[in-house]
């Protein structure tokens, strides 16, 4: 059973930075695609950033391109999201997810991910 535990959320002023981490247990290899998704109150979940199992291919939501960077350390089974130049509209619960079945589907397609963490709250004040 795969378990994902996020950390690193918090409250920050606009323009600030946070680094989210997601530690995975139960993964049999480092070849699973992993991603970060977020959901604000009364909005739909959206894909923020994701990375292929091999680590070479990434994808970002247009709203975070140039500000957020996703990375992974397969030796530690850990996924990261470095968030810079944060804006109030980045406020949301952030979820880590993994998809253990290979697919060519778009990396940010949430319904293709089969394991999810509990989430970590990010709040950005103006």
The pLDDT tens digits for 53-85 are: 876 799 999 999 999 999 999 889 999 999 999
Does residue 110 sit in helix, strand or coil?
helix
**Which pair of tokens denotes residue 48?**
């923020």
Whether the CB-CB separation of 3 and 56 falls below 8 Å is answered with: no
- Matching residue, tokens 């968030």: 83
Per-residue pLDDT of the chain (126 residues; tens, 9 = 90+): 899 999 999 999 999 999 999 999 988 767 899 999 999 999 999 999 999 987 679 999 999 999 999 999 988 999 999 999 999 999 999 999 999 988 888 899 999 999 999 999 999 999
Does residue 80 sit in helix, strand or coil?
strand
CB atoms within 10 A of CB 41: 7
Distance CA 106, CA 50 (A): 10
């Amino acid at each position: 059973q795969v378990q994902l535990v996020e950390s690193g959320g918090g409250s920050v002023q606009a323009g600030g930075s946070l680094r989210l981490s997601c530690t995975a247990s139960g993964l049999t290899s480092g070849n699973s695609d992993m991603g970060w998704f977020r959901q604000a109150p009364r909005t739909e979940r959206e894909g923020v950033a994701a990375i292929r199992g091999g680590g070479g291919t990434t994808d970002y939501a247009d709203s975070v391109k140039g500000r957020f960077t996703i990375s992974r350390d397969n030796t530690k089974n850990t996924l990261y999201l470095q968030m810079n130049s944060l804006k109030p509209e980045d406020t949301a619960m952030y979820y880590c997810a993994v998809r253990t079945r290979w697919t060519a589907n778009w990396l940010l397609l949430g319904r293709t991910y089969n394991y999810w963490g509990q989430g970590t709250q990010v709040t950005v004040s103006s």
